[in-house]
Amino acid sequence: MPIKLQQIILIVLGLALPLGLFWLSDRQQWPTWWTILAMVGIVIFVNLGFAVIAYQKHCQKEQSK
């Protein structure tokens, strides 16, 4: 999968997941701490995704040398 497509997917997930989480937590009457914990999980997930993309770019540069 091309790196640009991976970045677009992560950006969309980074925007859609929090919005969906807020909607779901409001409908399900989740406690505030549950929502905060889920948001921290989303942030970690998206950041790890960008770290993987950065590593892939680094590996591609090393292979092209």
Q: Which amino acid is at 36?
A: I
pTM of the model: 0.77
Q: What is the pLDDT of residues 10-57, one digit of tens each?
A: 999 999 998 999 888 889 988 888 889 999 999 999 999 999 999 999
**DSSP secondary structure, 8-64, as one string:** HHHHHHHHHHHHHHHHHHHHHT--HHHHHHHHHHHHHHHHHHHHHHHHHHHHHHHHH
